[in-house]
Amino acid sequence: MHTQINNKRAVFLDRDGTINEEVGYLCRLEDLTLIERVGSAIRLLNDSGYKVVVITNQSGVARGLLDEIFVQKVHAEIARRLSKSNAYVDKWYYCPHHATEGKGKYRIECHCRKPSTGMVDLAITELGIIPEESFVVGDSIRDLETAWNVGAQPVLVLTGYGKKTLSRLLPDQKKKLPHIAYDLFDACTWICEYC
């Protein structure tokens, strides 16, 4: 059963490197490995009344490495695995585009590719989310910039590309990070204690 303690707050999660292990372009379901404690992390958010929204750039679609149906299959498989921990994602959004590497209809300058805010804006409209009361958790500078662009709190995880991202942040950017987390479970624990 989905709890609705405060349905205006959300935690926006990056997918690759945050929820599942980073493998470059995830093109086969057998390469999908959830990062340890992800189910427990997301259940913490569910139990605390946060909407859990995945926002993920999937330029592998634009590059012709996979198709949108496969992206949806990956999301369904992640959801199936999360359900074993009684955890769920409220909504999944992905951007299949790339401005320079894409093919056909996917090669465009879009508003959904992070750090642009299109996916978050859509979630705000569809789910009634207040971005200033929300968080964006991810392992790349794009995730942090997305948070700053919508007025949400950014949380960097050190899984995936997180350690490399941290080493490349400018001092002013580090000052704008309320929390740097070891992994998603650490991030979600901090979020649930923070608010």
Residue among 159, 166, 160 nearest 182 (CA): 159
DSSP alpha helix (H) spans, 9-87: 38-47, 68-83
Residues sharing a CB contact under 8 Å with residue 131, sequence separation 6 or more, in sequence order: 120, 124, 150, 151, 152
The phi, psi pair for 37, rounded to 5°, reads: 75, 10
* 14 a catalytic residue: yes
Instruction: Give the sheet arrangement for strand 179-181, strand by strand.
Output: 91-95, 51-57, 10-13, 135-138, 153-157, 179-181
Amino acid in position 95: C
The question of whether 90 is a catalytic residue gets the answer no
The residues near 57 (Cβ < 8 Å, ≥ 6 apart) are 94, 95, 113, 114, 142
Catalytic residue among 14, 90, 143, 186: 14
Could you say which of 16, 139, 143, 186 is catalytic? 16
Query: Residue 158 is which amino acid?
Result: L
What are the catalytic residues? Answer: 14, 16
